[in-house]
């Protein structure tokens, strides 16, 4: 064998050694990616369960008007014939034409002829009621 063929053979061996190292590195990266993908899938399933739980809590709120404490009858002065609106899930009392009252869904609205009862049931007056 001559020197050129020895050099050529040595270069080929080095090339194959480098290719083998690269293949092992790619293999380990694929394994890590598969592991990360499995973990991500489990985390995604947990997040979906949490979202579903939160959606159920939003559909069936815990607050009810009957559970509000009745305070002393501080408010005895009657207001004119304005109608008042409050939300079943909120704690604010609004005048019928208030911007915030219009945002309350119709099925969640509570109507009052005066502000005395709702204020005694624990609702707080919005700025529109205080005017």
Whether residues 2 and 48 share a domain: the answer is yes
What does the alpha-carbon distance between residue 26 and residue 105 come to, in Å, rounded to a whole number? Answer: 56
- Per residue in 26-53, pLDDT tens? 999 999 999 999 889 889 999 999 988 8
Q: Which pLDDT belongs to residue 80?
A: 47
Q: What is the mean pLDDT of residues 96-116?
A: 88
Number of independent structural domains in the chain: 2
Sheet containing 84-87: order of strands: 109-112, 84-87, 92-95, 124-125
Whether residues 74 and 53 share a domain: the answer is no
Whether residues 35 and 73 share a domain: the answer is no
Whether residues 35 and 84 share a domain: the answer is no
Contact 106, 96 (CB under 8 A): no
Quote the radius of gyration of the chain (alpha carbons, Å).
35
Residue 100 has pLDDT above 60, yes or no: yes
Q: Which pLDDT belongs to residue 15?
A: 94
Under the banding of pLDDT at 50, 70 and 90, the label for residue 57 is: confident
Q: Name the 3-class secondary structure at 46.
A: helix
């Amino acid at each position: 064998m001559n020197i050129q063929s020895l050099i050529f053979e040595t270069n080929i061996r080095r090339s194959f050694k480098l290719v083998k190292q690269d293949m092992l590195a790619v293999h380990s990266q694929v394994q890590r990616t598969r592991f990360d993908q499995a973990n991500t899938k489990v985390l995604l399933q947990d997040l979906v369960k949490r979202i579903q739980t939160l959606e159920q809590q939003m559909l069936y709120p815990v607050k009810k008007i009957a559970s509000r404490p009745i305070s002393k009858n501080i408010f005895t002065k009657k207001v004119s014939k304005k109608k008042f609106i409050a939300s079943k899930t909120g704690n604010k009392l609004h005048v019928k034409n208030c911007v915030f009252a219009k945002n309350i869904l119709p099925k969640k609205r509570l109507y009052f002829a005066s502000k005395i009862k709702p204020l005694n049931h624990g609702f707080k007056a919005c700025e529109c009621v205080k005017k």
